[in-house]
Structure 1
Amino acid sequence: MKPYKKALDDMFNTVRNKVARGGYRNLPVAGRMARMVWSEELAWFAKLHMGDEVIRPLGQSVIPELSHMKSMVESWHSQVTGIPRSDTLRLPSSYAKVNTLRSTLLINEKNSHFGCAAITFQYTGYKYFLFCCSFATMNIPERPIYKWSLRPGQDCYRQDKQYKNLCAEGERYGNDMPVKNLSLHIEPIDTM
């Protein structure tokens, strides 16, 4: 994954930066959204999770792995425009579309780290590509996705130099703190 870390970092943080500045009509400005950075530990968890993935053939055309990753990350972000403003203040317990739930995770203000794993292989004449990412936080129903602000990044201790609407690396979000009365989202099985 080493050759792809920078590209993945750019894909995630470009969308987060746009969300934080209020670049989507449906989403307000974010006061303290984290810049996401690579985590080897989360990459290891992503690799472990790949054993649970549904395997689908790619067909006959061979597309470079980065193109596949970009396509998948874009599909995860595809529902950002469909997230209602009110959901940023209180995440509902379910969504009709799985990608909407995934999009809310990718714009969660506390999502400070990510790690991904990928593998390509051939089986019974088909080429397969598996790609999975793990993140530093999770969606918690009835909790905010992020807090609104008048100015992007106004509640950060330090703003990032590259993604100016996000907080700089090292901002603490309490991701390691216990959460009382936790209920989780259970994603429906993706049968695409």
Structure 2
Amino acid sequence: MKICSSILWYAAGLLFLCALNEVRAQKKPKYCSRAKPPSKTKSDYCSLPSCGGAEHIGCNSNKQFIEGCVGNMFNVSQNMRNFIVKQHNIYRNIVARGKLHGLPPSGRMLKMQWHEELAEVARFAAYRCSIGPVHKCHTTLEYAGTGYNMAYNKFPSAQDPTKIVRAQLKAWYEQYQYANTQSMISGTSPAGQEIGHFLQLVSGLADRVGCAIFSAKHFSYNYQTLVCAYSCSYKKNLPAYKIARIPAEDCTCGSDQDFKNLCSGFERVRSCEHDAPMGSHISPDAKLIGVDYDNLLNANLNPKPTPSENLWQGRG
């Protein structure tokens, strides 16, 4: 009799769990079953409301490198796009799990996907032929709180572009070793090391990325630079991502099938929860070399921002 009673209780428990899961599934918004449709309206870079009257980096751009720069803009192939997106999601998935360097799990870190208009914004930044901060507006009509990352490598002879991009993305990620839980809110490391690239890489609400790659000659060295623009920027004194006890527990559409600690690709973001456009994250070494690089081109590539451009001043 006790055995029968136990079986009945077990069966009742299973039925309750099934019913609970069904209720949870029913609560998911309808958009959780379909991909977000692409925007049908292209940004008019000369009249974006999110710029607040400041000049946009893409306004009246001739889509050419500045005078004096012998640069080559790469054609970012579909394979390269897939590679960049996959590497982002691999790193984000590791961090969201909450087992890396004592960093907390993320309840809602979104899966990253490619966005071509953000790639265009990244190309506008690349045409400057500079690793210096961008002091102009660089939002889009769809994304008013964009962020970006930059990295470059120099080498005397030809290298595999994909291997270089892999190393650049890894360099951003490996800044995690200087971060702790407080860093995810303050935006600074305990000892003052650079972690901005890492924070942008794992910004929880950033679900779209577009990148540009270009090379340029500087004396006897070749430079390959990667510029990635994101749909959302992290902001100091706000959490880089939603901290939780269990990874992906706050995802509206559930977790992703391939990256279990990230939200499904159907997840939607209404806003970035702040309106600060993207700032630049450049390592101290890059700044020092950038001075020589700017001088080589005999161009004012790093002007002091005017008061109207302070919102877009880089956080180096």
* Separation in 2, partners of 1:184, 1:116: 14
> Are residues 1:46 and 2:122 paired?
yes
1:23 and 2:99 aligned: yes
Alignment of 1:42-191 (within 5 A): 42-52=118-128, 53-54=130-131, 58-88=154-184, 90-92=185-187, 94=188, 96-98=192-194, 100-122=195-217, 126-157=221-252, 158-175=254-271, 179=275, 187=281, 190-191=287-288
What TM-score, normalized to structure 1?
A: 0.84
Question: Runs in 1 of length 4+ with deviation above 4 angstroms?
Answer: 121-126, 182-189
Contact 1:42 1:135 in 2 (8 A): yes
Q: Would you say the 8 A contact 2:93–2:259 is kept in 1?
A: yes
Output the CA distance in 2 between the equivalents of 1:109 and 1:162.
17
Q: Give the total of aligned pairs.
A: 187
**CA displacement 1:71-130 (0-9 Å, x = unmatched):** 111111121122111232x234x55333x0111111111111111011235566643322
Q: Is the 8 A contact 1:83 1:104 kept in 2?
A: no
Measure the CA separation in 2 of the matches of 1:184 and 1:47. Answer: 15
The equivalent residue for 2:50 is none
- What does the per-residue CA deviation read over 1:43-76, in whole Å, with 9 as the maximum and x for residues that have no partner? 0011011133249883333211111111111111
Separation in 2, partners of 1:46, 1:38: 12
Structure 2, gaps ≥5 residues long: 1-75, 133-151, 290-316
- Provide the secondary structure at the position in 2 that maps to 1:17: helix
For structure 1, which segment, 36-45 or 164-173, has the greater mean C-alpha deviation from structure 2 after superposition? 164-173
8 Å contact from structure 2 (residues 93, 261) kept in 1 = yes
- Distance of 1:140 and 1:57 partners within structure 2: 27
Deviation digits for residues 104-157 of structure 1, max 9, x if unmatched?
111111111111011235566643322211111112121111122221111112
Q: 1:40 to 1:164 in 2, by over 3 A?
A: same
* Pair 57,65 (structure 1): closer, same or farther in 2 beyond 3 Å: closer
Structure 1 residue matching 2:155: 3-state secondary structure: coil
Give me the TM-score of the superposition, normalised by structure 2. Answer: 0.53
Compare 166-175 and 133-142 and name the one that shifted more.
Answer: 166-175
2: distance between equivalents of 1:85 and 1:46? 30
Q: Do the aligned partners of 1:141 and 1:184 also contact (CA within 8 Å) in 2?
A: no
Larger radius of gyration: 2
Q: 3-state SS of the aligned residue for 2:170?
A: helix
Query: How far 1:11 sits from its partner (Å)?
Result: 1.0
**What is the percent sequence identity of the aligned residues?**
22
CA contact (8 A) 1:29 1:152 kept: yes
Displacement of 1:185 in angstroms is: 5.9
What residue identity is the alignment partner of 1:91?
Answer: S
5+ unaligned residues in a row in structure 1: which ranges?
none
Kindly tell me: are residues 21 and 143 of structure 1, through their superposed partners in 2, closer, same or farther at Cα, counting changes over 3 Å?
A: same
Instruction: Report the Cα distance in structure 1 between the residues aligned to 2:86 and 2:107, rounded to whole angstroms.
Output: 20
Aligned equivalent of 2:305: none
RMSD: 2.7
